[in-house]
Amino acid sequence: MPQPIDPNTEFMRIHAVQRVQEAQDRAAMMAQARQVTQQAEEQIRRETTVNRPEQQEPAVDRETRRRAPFRNETEQRERKKGQQQSEHEQEPDVTRPSSGAEEPPHHFDVSI
C-alpha cells in the first residue's frame, strides 16, 4: 500500500535542496571572484617586476662550499693565469729589435 504524501515534509525537502544549491552557487561565485582577483594580482606583479638576467653560474651547493671554500676562486685564478700565458705566447715581441742572431733567454733566479 502506498504511503500518503505529507505536503509539509515535501516542502521541507524542496527548501533543503534549494538551500544546498544556493550554497553551492555562492561557493562557485566566490571561487570565480577569487580566481579573477588572483589573475589581476599576477598581471600587476608581472608588470611591476624588473626583468633580471639569469644567473650565469648555478647556485653553489652549501656542502661543497663548506668542504672547499676557495675552490672556485682558485680555479678562476688558474684560468686567468693560463689565458695570460697563452696571450703572451701568441703576441710577438715588438719591444726588442730583431737581430740576425738569437739571444739565449735570460733567467734571473732569486732564491733564499
SS3 call for 95: coil
Above pLDDT 70, what percent of the chain? 65
Task: From residue 82, give the alpha-carbon distance in Å to each of 75, 88, 104.
Answer: 10, 10, 24
Whether residue 60 is predicted with pLDDT greater than 60 in this model: the reply is no
pLDDT tens for each residue of 40-59: 999 999 888 877 766 555 55
Q: How many residues does the chain have?
A: 112
Q: Are 60 and 72 in contact (CB under 8 A)?
A: yes
Whether residue 102 is predicted with pLDDT greater than 70 in this model: the reply is no
Whether residue 79 is predicted with pLDDT greater than 60 in this model: the reply is yes
Task: From residue 44, give the alpha-carbon distance in Å to each of 27, 37, 40, 49, 51.
Answer: 26, 11, 6, 8, 14
Q: How many helices (H) and strands (E) does the chain have?
A: 3, 0
